[in-house]
Amino acid sequence: MQKGNIRVQTENIFPIIKKFLYSEHDIFLRELVSNAVDATQKLKTLSSIGEAKGELGELRIDISLDADAKTLTIADRGVGMTEEEVDKYLNQVAFSGAEEFLQKYKGQNDANIIGHFGLGFYSSFMVSDKVEVITKSYHSGKNAVKWECDGSPAFTLEPIEKSVRGTDIVLHINEESQEFLEAGRIKQILEKFCRFLPVPIFFEEKQINNTTPAWTKKPSELTTEDYQKFYKELYPFNETPLFWIHLNVDYPFNLTGILYFPRIKQSYEIQKDKIQLYSNQVFVTEEVKDIVPEFLMLLQGVIDSPDIPLNVSRSYLQGDPNVKKINNHITKKVADKLEEIFNKERKEFEEKWEHIGLFVKYGMMTDDKFLERANKFHIFEDVDGGKFYTLEEYRAVAGVLQVNKDGKLVILYTTNPVQQDAYIKQAKAKGYLVVKMETIVDAAFINQVEHKWENVHFTRVDADITDNLIDKQEGGDTVLNKEEEEKLKGLFDFKIPDINMTVEVKGLSTEAPPVVATRPEFMRRMKDMAAVGGGMAAFYANMPDEVLLTVNGNHPIFQNILSENDGEKQGKFIHNLADLALLSQGLLKGNSLTEFINRSVELMGEEKKSRIIIE
């Protein structure tokens, strides 16, 4: 029997490994199973080139629990190790300058503690009082050996009987880690980290992994059903995805994977961190923000790349040019796919716009290269539904009718077709084209692309009276004389809480409402953005609403109101007309809304009294 000390330059290194190597202790199982996979794959390679003689037999990895002995065993049938290899690989912590390493990293967080040192095996000491390695090499004539260590630098190495090639790692689970003696817990860890490893893994006599997941195959080998089946394997409770992109690159970096576009009807259904990152089919993390562009974090699926640099815990990406290249490649592939569908299957693209639009708009706001591509396939939906326009198509349809005095195309939009129905009808009566901008990102999207698109200005359909929506200031004469206009304007001179109200009397058509409430486009946008946490726009959240009341002097109702002798009744009518206009903008709330209801009931009662007296 050989006895000795693991060759490190300080006895303090093992406590540091045990405490800081990984932020989550369950990762030890991933590391040990990954090592077993590597040993198996290496044997296959050696066999293929004739260096490993004889039959390989069934190549598999078995995980077993012994609750009574308090052990967890990971057994493979791979290359195994000779006594010399055990001494080389297990008795020398796999990095140089341990003392310098210790001084540099002691006390720092686990994100920085290790780096590229290949310490996966030593993660076993995080959960074990003692670790045994029983191994037999594929080399003929080599004896099996047993290595044993209790987590201190001291170890023993001795010959042992072992009938089959491969390595068994036996963990004697410590008191603090008894959860890893529970079958359910082990199954959960294996399903998380090992479900797509390329070697069959068995636990409780059942294989727990799919060794050939869809992304490892060529696109030509897969059908639509195959892609959808794999999606269900990843997300069993989700609806069928809209479509998918198969990544398959081997130069200048290695990258495979499948990205799915999920169905997202409402922005509040968004859930990020649904893309899984793998390295050679070993699960790493769902935190892929540096690899996948921010706007595509809404996608789902799998990315697998051995070229993504990770620290030993595989939980943090490290700076590397490949990460940026992969990021750019994914952006390009997504843009290619969207443009292809738009050009070849536009009807299908339009039908899916409710879901796709969120990705596209988010990308256009955050990535200028994607914006250039997306200008070709971003579309607006007509307020009536069913008709869609690219920016250039909108420009062609709107023509000179929707060009303002500055020569800019005015895109009229609605954020709520039901609430803004009266404004929409007036705009359509003028021949204007109104589109829907209803999602939570649209307020920010409008602000962004207005600066990036040339000669384009967005105006919400209720941002001004119809005659002024395109800055043409048409008409304005009323049937009222100057004295009547001033009197009417004076009747609207009252205060409403949290609203700065300005009043103008203007001659609109007799079909237009008697009073129209509008809000300045800029201030309303800021308010909308503030409502969803829009950064600087939050400054405007608590500011009073700026409202312009346009009184239609041509509406016949004002002839009756101006001739009303009862001043109190006259005031109630005027106040109600103003409240109705504010109500159309969603600005009548709280006590003001209660007063409006009570006042309306009073006026109805007075009207009934008048009829009884007349009769």
pLDDT, residue 559, reads 85
567 found inside a domain: yes
When pLDDT is cut at 50, 70 and 90, the band that residue 118 belongs to is very low
Q: Are residues 429 and 494 in the same domain?
A: no
Rg of the chain over Cα atoms, rounded to whole angstroms, equals 36
Tokens at 104, concatenated: 């540099």
Cα–Cα distance for residue pair 176/167, rounded to 1 Å = 26
Question: For residue 253, which phi and psi values (nearest 5 degrees)?
Answer: -145, 165
Q: Are residues 218 and 195 in the same domain?
A: no
Q: Could you report how far apart the first and last alpha carbons of the chain are, in Å?
A: 120
Of 337, 363, 397, the position where a domain reaches its end is 337
pLDDT, residue 293, reads 85
Least confident span in 25-39, 58-72, 94-108, 569-583 = 94-108
When pLDDT is cut at 50, 70 and 90, the band that residue 279 belongs to is confident
Query: Tell me, what CATH number does 596's domain have?
Result: 1.20.120.790
Tokens at 495, concatenated: 């205060």
Q: Are residues 453 and 315 in the same domain?
A: no
DSSP H helix total and E strand total for the chain: 18, 22
440 found inside a domain: yes
What is the 8-class DSSP label of residue 535? G
Report long-range pairs for 449-453 (Cβ below 8 Å, ≥24 apart).
449/364, 449/365, 449/371, 452/368, 452/371, 453/375, 453/391
292 found inside a domain: yes
| Residue 560 or 190, more confident | 190
| Residue 92 or 173, more confident | 173
**pLDDT tens-place string over residues 334-360:** 999 999 999 999 999 999 998 889 889
| 281-286 average pLDDT score | 85
**pLDDT tens-place string over residues 425-474:** 988 988 999 999 988 888 889 988 988 999 999 988 888 777 777 765 55
Pinpoint the alpha helices (H) of 197-241. 224-234
Cα–Cα distance for residue pair 545/528, rounded to 1 Å = 12
Q: Are residues 491 and 565 in the same domain?
A: yes
Q: Which residues pair with 243 in a beta bridge?
A: 261
pLDDT at 82 over 90: yes
354 found inside a domain: no
Provide the residue type at 194 as one letter. C
| 366-384 average pLDDT score | 93
Tokens at 59, concatenated: 């190549």
Size (the chain), residues: 615
Q: Which residues pair with 247 in a beta bridge?
A: 257
Q: Are residues 417 and 551 in the same domain?
A: no
3-state secondary structure of 162: coil
pLDDT, residue 433, reads 95
Q: How many CB atoms lie within 10 A of CB 507?
A: 18
Q: Which residues pair with 228 in a beta bridge?
A: none
Non-local CB neighbours of 73 within 8 Å, separated by 6+ positions: 62, 63, 64, 65, 66, 168, 169, 170, 171
Q: Are residues 161 and 56 in the same domain?
A: yes
State the greatest distance between any 2 C-alpha atoms of the chain, in Å, as a whole number: 121
The DSSP annotation for 556-596 comes to THHHHHHT---HHHHHHHHHHHHHHHHHHTT---HHHHHHH
User: What's the structural domain count of the chain?
Assistant: 4
pLDDT, residue 535, reads 53
When pLDDT is cut at 50, 70 and 90, the band that residue 268 belongs to is very low
- Residue listed under structure tokens 């209790």: 150
Q: How many CB atoms lie within 10 A of CB 557?
A: 13
3-state secondary structure of 128: strand
Q: Are residues 406 and 296 in the same domain?
A: no
Q: Which residues pair with 503 in a beta bridge?
A: 549
Of 207, 238, 270, the position where a domain reaches its end is 207
- Residue listed under structure tokens 């914006």: 371
**Contact indicator for 409, 396 with CB cutoff of 8 Å:** no
pLDDT, residue 511, reads 75
Tokens at 187, concatenated: 């199954």
Torsion of CA 356, 360, 363, 364, to 10 degrees: -170
Q: Are residues 514 and 456 in the same domain?
A: no
Query: Tell me, what CATH number does 393's domain have?
Result: 3.40.50.11260
pLDDT at 109 over 60: no
3-state secondary structure of 167: strand
Q: Are residues 253 and 190 in the same domain?
A: no
pLDDT, residue 375, reads 95
Cα–Cα distance for residue pair 316/468, rounded to 1 Å = 55
Cα–Cα distance for residue pair 389/463, rounded to 1 Å = 22
When pLDDT is cut at 50, 70 and 90, the band that residue 611 belongs to is low
pLDDT at 370 over 60: yes
94 found inside a domain: yes
Non-local CB neighbours of 530 within 8 Å, separated by 6+ positions: 537, 538, 539, 540, 541
3-state secondary structure of 459: strand
Query: Tell me, what CATH number does 274's domain have?
Result: 3.30.230.80
Least confident span in 61-75, 207-221, 227-241, 520-534 = 520-534
pLDDT, residue 548, reads 82
Of 189, 207, 225, the position where a domain reaches its end is 207
Non-local CB neighbours of 480 within 8 Å, separated by 6+ positions: 488, 505, 553, 558
Q: Are residues 92 and 173 in the same domain?
A: yes
Instruction: Kindly provide the b/e burial profile for residues 575-589, where b requires at least 16 CB atoms within 10 angstroms of the residue's own CB.
Output: bbbbbbbbbbbebbe
Q: Are residues 490 and 447 in the same domain?
A: no
| 66-95 average pLDDT score | 87
**Contact indicator for 424, 383 with CB cutoff of 8 Å:** yes
Question: For residue 231, which phi and psi values (nearest 5 degrees)?
Answer: -60, -40
**Contact indicator for 466, 420 with CB cutoff of 8 Å:** no
Question: How big is the CA angle at 190 (ends 188 and 195), to the nearest 5 degrees?
Answer: 115
356 found inside a domain: no
Q: Are residues 38 and 121 in the same domain?
A: yes
Q: Write out the H or E segment, with its range, that includes residue 525.
A: helix 521-531
Residues spanned by the domain of 607:
482-614
The DSSP annotation for 156-212 comes to EEEE----SSEEEEEEEE-GGGGGGG-HHHHHHHHHHHSTT-SS-EEETTEE---SS
Cα–Cα distance for residue pair 518/460, rounded to 1 Å = 10
Non-local CB neighbours of 384 within 8 Å, separated by 6+ positions: none
pLDDT, residue 263, reads 84
Cα–Cα distance for residue pair 247/292, rounded to 1 Å = 13
Q: How many CB atoms lie within 10 A of CB 555?
A: 21
pLDDT, residue 389, reads 96
